[in-house]
Amino acid sequence: MQNLNELREHYITYQIKEQKALNNAKKNIFWISIVRLAAFLGLIIGVYVLFQQDSNYTLYWALLGVVLFLALVKLHARFFAAKRLTENRLRVIEEELKSLEGNQSAFDDGSRYMHRSKDYAYDLDVFGPQSLYQKCNRTTTIGGGGMLAHWFNFSEYETAKIKHKQESVEELASLFEERLDFRAQGLMLDEEKGEYRALIRWMNEPDLFFGKPLFIVLIWIASLINIVGIMLYFGGIINGNLPGTSLFISLMFVGFYTKKIQRIHMSVSSKVKLLTKYIKLLQIIEQTPFTTSYLNDLQFELGDKKANASTQIGKLSKILSALDTRLNVFAGILVNAIFLWDILQVLRMEKWKAEHKKDLIKWFTVLSSFDALNGISTLHYNHPDWVFPTLSEKDFELTAEDLKHPLMQDTNCVGNNFSIPNRPHFKVITGANMAGKSTFLRSLGTNMLLAMMGAPVSAKSMIINPIEIISSIRTKDSLAKNESYFYAEIKRLEVIINRLKKGERLFVFLDEILKGTNSKDKEQGSKALLKQLVELKAVGVIATHDLNLGVISQEFKDYVENICFEVEILDGGLHFDYKIRPGIAQNLSATYLMKQMGITV
Type of residue at 284: I
Pairing assessment for the beta strands 573-582 and 560-570 based on DSSP bridges: antiparallel
Mean pLDDT of 273-281: 90
CA distances from 514 to 475, 490, 521, 543, 549 (A): 11, 8, 9, 12, 11
With vertex at residue 445, the alpha carbon angle to CA 499 and CA 99, rounded to the nearest 5 degrees, is: 140
pLDDT of residue 479: 40
What is the 3-class SS of 138-164, one letter each residue? CCCCHHHHHHHHHHHHCCCCCHHHHHH
172 pLDDT band, cuts 50/70/90, is: very high
Mean pLDDT of 152-163: 95
pLDDT at 587 over 80: no
pLDDT of residue 478: 43
**114/25 Cα distance (integer angstroms):** 42
Return the closest-CA partner of residue 230 out of 242, 217, 248. 242
For 223, the 3-state DSSP assignment is helix
Mean pLDDT of 385-396: 95
82-86, 320-324, 431-435: segment of lowest average pLDDT: 431-435
Compute the radius of gyration of the chain from its Cα atoms.
33
Q: What is the DSSP letter of 392?
A: P
Q: Per-residue pLDDT tens for 545-558?
A: 778 777 877 788 88
CATH architecture of the domain covering 390-596: 3-Layer(aba) Sandwich (3.40)
**445/125 Cα distance (integer angstroms):** 10
480 pLDDT band, cuts 50/70/90, is: very low
Return the closest-CA partner of residue 441 out of 550, 578, 574, 586. 578
Q: What is the DSSP letter of 589?
A: -
Length of the chain: 601
pLDDT at 49 over 70: yes
With vertex at residue 63, the alpha carbon angle to CA 25 and CA 66, rounded to the nearest 5 degrees, is: 25
**C-beta separation of 310 from 276 below 8 A:** no
44-53, 144-153, 366-375, 440-449: segment of lowest average pLDDT: 44-53
Domain ranges in the chain are 1-101, 195-382, 390-596
252-266, 296-310, 585-599: segment of lowest average pLDDT: 585-599
20-29, 186-195, 250-259, 412-421: segment of lowest average pLDDT: 186-195
Residues 6 or more apart in contact with residue 365 via CB below 8 angstroms: 143, 147, 301
**C-beta separation of 579 from 416 below 8 A:** yes
pLDDT of residue 555: 82
Pairing assessment for the beta strands 539-544 and 560-570 based on DSSP bridges: unpaired
- Angle of helix 341-382 relative to helix 142-153, nearest 10 degrees, comes to 50
Return the closest-CA partner of residue 209 out of 268, 254, 269. 254
For 478, the 3-state DSSP assignment is strand
> Dihedrals φ, ψ of 474, to 5°?
-115, 55
For 162-186, b/e burial (b = at least 16 CB within 10 A) is: bbbbbbbbbbbbebeebbbbbbbbb
Q: What is the DSSP letter of 291?
A: -
Instruction: Judge residue 359's burial from the number of C-beta atoms within 10 Å of its C-beta, 0-12 exposed, 13-18 middle, 19 or more buried.
Output: middle
Alpha carbons within 13 angstroms on the beta-carbon side of residue 373 total 25
Pairing assessment for the beta strands 506-511 and 468-472 based on DSSP bridges: parallel
Q: What is the DSSP letter of 107?
A: S
CA distances from 446 to 121, 123, 403 (A): 9, 10, 11
**406/446 Cα distance (integer angstroms):** 7
Q: Assign residue 408 a region (left: φ > 0; alpha: ψ between -120 and 50; beta: otherwise).
A: beta
pLDDT at 200 over 90: no
% the chain with pLDDT above 90 = 61
> Dihedrals φ, ψ of 544, to 5°?
-160, 150
Residues 6 or more apart in contact with residue 264 via CB below 8 angstroms: 202, 208, 346, 349
**447/428 Cα distance (integer angstroms):** 19
pLDDT at 418 over 70: yes
85-94, 284-293, 435-444, 548-557: segment of lowest average pLDDT: 548-557
CA distances from 181 to 92, 374, 547 (A): 9, 11, 55
DSSP string over 171-184? HHHH-HHHHHHHHH
CA distances from 527 to 218, 234, 524, 533, 555 (A): 82, 100, 5, 10, 9
pLDDT of residue 513: 81
56 pLDDT band, cuts 50/70/90, is: low
Q: Assign residue 161 a region (left: φ > 0; alpha: ψ between -120 and 50; beta: otherwise).
A: alpha
Q: Per-residue pLDDT tens for 492-511?
A: 899 999 999 999 999 999 98
For 275, the 3-state DSSP assignment is helix
